[in-house]
A = this chain, B = another copy of it.
Amino acid sequence: MPTIRDVARRAGVSPATVSYVLNNSGPVRPETRERVLRAIAELGYHPHAGARQLKRRRTDTLGLILPTGERRLSDPFFLELIHALGDACAVHQLDLLIATCRDPAADLRLIDRLYKGRRVDGFLLIDLRRRDPRIAHLQAAGIPFVAFGRTEADGAFPWVDVDGAAGMRQAVAYLAGKGHRRIAYLSAPLTFTFVYHRLEGYRQGMQAAGLPLDERLIRSARLTMEGGYEAARALLAEGVPFTALLAATDLMALGAMRALHEAGRAPGREVAVIGFDDIPLAAQAHPPLTTLRQPMDQIGEALVRAWLAAVNGEQPEPVLLPPTLILRESA
């Protein structure tokens, strides 16, 4: 494999000059630059990442930790997120390092190992809890990071999030506009911040629409298809009347639709259903699921941008992106 010296020799210059050309630092005469570039191309030279890293004290690598213990992230949404992140990283010439962590207690150690071992310049936190110990740890250790999602305190740390409350308000308003008055809501354990915000949005929406808030219409279930199915079944079994149903995630909405089908209350026709996320499955459901789309590309881009700022020692402003109501046939 050619090194910078080989390039230098071939171009008849010194390694320093090659470096200047590579990084656009330092003044280089156009014809010299030309010669260097030609030599690079001819040799198929690529700078050695480790060596650069050693000297520049930068890895240009972003660390993403996938929790895989209690709640294994099997929601297809995360696959979309990974794709979006990968794309955004590519745009900014960054690499994406993914680590999994079975033991939820061990992820702090994993973070330390990756950062102190200079494998990554900083982290991207996903799957945030309302009280998230990772935040304090990272802040205390002075490790740059950006979170996808917020914590309860909304303390001063950089995050990017989708405005779940606004989304749900919009959904409720839409349903209310169509005459629905009894709108059920499938929530989930409030450990996760986004679940909490979305529920708040529902409440605010109901209030804004002047609709009474019947707590019996609010159910908590697991964040899976099955969770949605069971919650909807329970709701139907208890005979609490409702004409529309909002779910915290698409997956739950899909499960709920299943329950409605089985109960003979055709989703879309007899009961309006709206989900959240717009996973690929949503469009393929029957009927196609009306949902609030998370702007994946913007999320990826915002996260990476904020991450870069954080790594450069800045304090990037939080970013709150609006979801978009995608009207399909389920509502």
Quote the shortest CB–CB distance from A23 to chain B (angstroms). Answer: 14
Contact of A95 among B119, B225, B261 (CB under 8 A): B119
In the bound assembly, the distance between CA atoms of A112 and B1 in angstroms comes to 12
- Neighbouring B residues of A102 by C-beta, 8 Å: 87, 90
In the bound assembly, the distance between CA atoms of A113 and B1 in angstroms comes to 12
Against B, the Cβ 8 Å flags (1 = close, 0 = not) of A43-76 are 0111111111110000101000010100011101
Question: B116 touching A1 by the CB < 8 A rule?
Answer: yes
User: Any chain B CB within 8 A of the CB of A80?
Assistant: yes
In the bound assembly, the distance between CA atoms of A119 and B284 in angstroms comes to 39
User: Any chain B CB within 8 A of the CB of A258?
Assistant: yes
- Neighbouring B residues of A316 by C-beta, 8 Å: none
Q: Please give me the residue from chain B that is nearest to A115 by CB atom.
A: B46
Interface range on chain A: under 10, 10 to 19, 20 to 34, or 35 or more?
35 or more
Question: A86 touching B68 by the CB < 8 A rule?
Answer: yes
Against B, the Cβ 8 Å flags (1 = close, 0 = not) of A254-294 are 01001001100000000000000000110110100000000
Question: A116 touching B79 by the CB < 8 A rule?
Answer: no
Quote the shortest CB–CB distance from A166 to chain B (angstroms). Answer: 26
In the bound assembly, the distance between CA atoms of A48 and B116 in angstroms comes to 8
- Neighbouring B residues of A286 by C-beta, 8 Å: 229, 258, 262
Counting every copy of the chain, the complex holds: 2
- Neighbouring B residues of A96 by C-beta, 8 Å: 97-99
Quote the shortest CB–CB distance from A79 to chain B (angstroms). Answer: 4
- Neighbouring B residues of A32 by C-beta, 8 Å: none
The SS class assigned to the A binding surface is: helix
In the bound assembly, the distance between CA atoms of A72 and B280 in angstroms comes to 10
Against B, the Cβ 8 Å flags (1 = close, 0 = not) of A301-320 are 00000000000000000000
- Neighbouring B residues of A49 by C-beta, 8 Å: 50, 53, 59, 117-119
Question: A50 touching B46 by the CB < 8 A rule?
Answer: no
Please provide the chain A residues from 102 to 145 with a CB less than 8 Å away from any CB of chain B in the complex: 102, 112-114, 116-119
Q: Please give me the residue from chain B that is nearest to A59 by CB atom.
A: B50
Quote the shortest CB–CB distance from A143 to chain B (angstroms). Answer: 12
Quote the shortest CB–CB distance from A205 to chain B (angstroms). Answer: 28
User: Any chain B CB within 8 A of the CB of A13?
Assistant: no
Question: A48 touching B54 by the CB < 8 A rule?
Answer: yes
- Contact status of A229 and B116, CB under 8 A, knowing A49-B53, A99-B86: no
Quote the shortest CB–CB distance from A66 to chain B (angstroms). Answer: 6
In the bound assembly, the distance between CA atoms of A262 and B224 in angstroms comes to 23
User: Any chain B CB within 8 A of the CB of A20?
Assistant: no
User: Any chain B CB within 8 A of the CB of A200?
Assistant: no
User: Any chain B CB within 8 A of the CB of A191?
Assistant: no
- Neighbouring B residues of A117 by C-beta, 8 Å: 46-49
User: Any chain B CB within 8 A of the CB of A14?
Assistant: no
Quote the shortest CB–CB distance from A213 to chain B (angstroms). Answer: 30
Question: A284 touching B229 by the CB < 8 A rule?
Answer: yes
Can you name 8 A-B pairs with beta carbons within 8 Å? A49-B53, A49-B119, A50-B53, A74-B76, A82-B82, A86-B100, A96-B97, A224-B280
